[in-house]
Structure 1
């Protein structure tokens, strides 16, 4: 006798397929269950997840430093004035990309320390310092990470400490904290000379440190000049000139000599001023720094005028006009023309004065510099007035019939055309 299963061979196989399908479905459902970690990612904030992740992977130092920075950021904003730029900044804990970068590179640095790879650890900190330098509101973070590099004492890490100081000097200079900038730059010069390293971008650290130190001395000298202490400013400028010379950067060496020349001029030491200004002219000419050359020419021309060497002044300014025109240095060209116009006016050569001033006015109009246009307009109007008054005075004092004729013609034209656009048309 046949059994039901034997009489229906397709039924058992269909039942097995259904059971297998249910088993797969059950497996799929169980595989789709979320873990506690997955749930935490949805429930917790991004900051919490980053901090928890650091702890789970054993980066306790990185967690502590990140937590410290978040707390410092909160204190900075709470201590700021209401509606100030700082108080209106987005809290660091809400800037997820930044705290992720901090967590990532700090954990890499901590791992490198565990492996005894100290240079790699400081590279991560230098990277973070550079990363936040690009963000204007995050310079305090750059300062933090660069400061952590300056403490490096391990073998092979002195280059990182030196570069950290170079970066600190530049940032403090950028913020106007000149004393702090000078302290870091002077230490950096000492350390860089001992090692002669290149920084992360391939620049010479001794040269980079001296370039920063020169800029700091220059800014401090400006402050002393404004405070009415030119002699202390001169001392700072001499340090800056020495530093610039040692940097082997001819551009800043020429600028340093120019600044010294101006400083000596301000205290009345014209001979020493001329010495440094001529040095600046020579350096700028050699390096084809035409902008610096233009400044030096104008300064020497002014110096010659102060010493009474008017012919030398005119020669220098005419040379500057030619250089500025050939090199398309429009602003120097305008300044040179205006200076020439003033010199000719003082020499009572009014026609030449008007010619130079008009040339400067036209160039100022072409480049669209409103300030220079207004300055040229005033100078040109003044020279034109002096020209008219000078000719009128000469005719009044003259006994020549032609002079009397011009006076009479001017008087008649003034009466006939008093309200006309052509009033005053005559030889004057």
Structure 2
């Protein structure tokens, strides 16, 4: 009796037992019932030769576990189900990671990018933000390899990275990504799903980030640098077509548009004896 129990506990023994006693169930299907959902997906990836997808999925699961341990008991992530316990998310990862790997083997980098972007879009819940950001970064790296779309995906990738950095508070880094996004879209007719041109979006993003940078410079008493940055913001706003109200405001209330605090600006300029700079600023407008 003890020997029989031991045999049934053995992996192959369990599979044989299930296959024999459940009508129509093969040994492979029996193993699937025994294994965890994550393990089944990983095994399937390896059987089909998707070793890169397997490694990436395993690394993401390990990263989630590390984030959870670092946050500790009582944290929001500690209360969440682990990635390996969420079959729907594992299905999405399996589907798009393997498609991306197959496309990469064939040298179809635009398809690699599109599959990675689908994953970035899918993980849009706040609890999955780290996953979304991970795949946006993967898109950014893949976009550099694409030579078939006149750099459209590269422009899109820079925009997405800029949004990530801006959200994280890395304003200077965000500005660098937005500047490249802007330069890549000059003269293009590319549009997003709402019909908005990429260049219009780039103008809006740059104008916003430059004014944020200028605010920080003013807080640090970097008045001259703030004015230079605001001139750049004004130039972008006047050249772009994203906001007619902004363009109108630059003509009627230039100092209010630039700094949002006209009285403070005049106090700063007066204290610094910057009347020449002020005159130049109006001439620029």
The secondary structure found in structure 1 opposite 2:81 is: coil
User: Normalising by the residue count of structure 1, what TM-score does the alignment of the two structures yield?
Assistant: 0.51
Who is 2:3 aligned against? none
Q: 2:260 aligns with which of 240, 248, 262?
A: 262
Who is 2:14 aligned against? none
User: Normalising by the residue count of structure 2, what TM-score does the alignment of the two structures yield?
Assistant: 0.74
Who is 2:16 aligned against? none
Superposed CA RMSD: 3.1
Whole-angstrom CA distance in 2 between matches of 1:124 and 1:252 = 37
The secondary structure found in structure 2 opposite 1:267 is: helix
Who is 2:118 aligned against? 127
Who is 1:72 aligned against? 63
Whole-angstrom CA distance in 1 between matches of 2:31 and 2:155 = 43
Q: 2:91 aligns with which of 100, 103, 109?
A: 100
Report how far residue 101 of structure 1 moved: 0.7
Which range is displaced more, 218-227 or 140-149?
218-227
Report how far residue 230 of structure 1 moved: 4.1
Q: 2:197 aligns with which of 193, 204, 209?
A: 204
Who is 1:36 aligned against? 27
The secondary structure found in structure 2 opposite 1:232 is: helix
Whole-angstrom CA distance in 2 between matches of 1:233 and 1:175 = 22
Q: 1:150 aligns with which of 136, 140, 144?
A: 140
The secondary structure found in structure 1 opposite 2:186 is: helix
Per-residue CA deviation, residues 173-212 of structure 1 (Å, 9 max, x unaligned), is 2232222222221222222337653346654222222222
2:163 maps to 1:173: no
Which has more radius of gyration? Answer: 1
Whole-angstrom CA distance in 2 between matches of 1:30 and 1:139 = 45
User: Looking at both structures, which has the greater relative contact order when contacts are Cα pairs under 8 Å and sequence separation is at least 6?
Assistant: 2
Per-residue CA deviation, residues 366-396 of structure 1 (Å, 9 max, x unaligned), is xxxxxxxxxxxxxxxxxxxxxxxxxxxxxxx
The secondary structure found in structure 1 opposite 2:260 is: helix
**Preserved contact between residue 211 and residue 233 of structure 2 (Cα < 8 Å):** yes
5+ long unaligned stretches in structure 2: 1-19
The secondary structure found in structure 1 opposite 2:226 is: helix
Who is 2:238 aligned against? 245
The secondary structure found in structure 2 opposite 1:181 is: helix
**Preserved contact between residue 178 and residue 206 of structure 2 (Cα < 8 Å):** yes
**Preserved contact between residue 163 and residue 199 of structure 1 (Cα < 8 Å):** no
TM-aligned CA distance change 1:229 to 1:131, over 3 Å: same
The secondary structure found in structure 2 opposite 1:124 is: helix
Per-residue CA deviation, residues 294-347 of structure 1 (Å, 9 max, x unaligned), is xxxxxxxxxxxxxxxxxxxxxxxxxxxxxxxxxxxxxxxxxxxxxxxxxxxxxx
Whole-angstrom CA distance in 2 between matches of 1:156 and 1:165 = 17
**Preserved contact between residue 54 and residue 62 of structure 1 (Cα < 8 Å):** yes
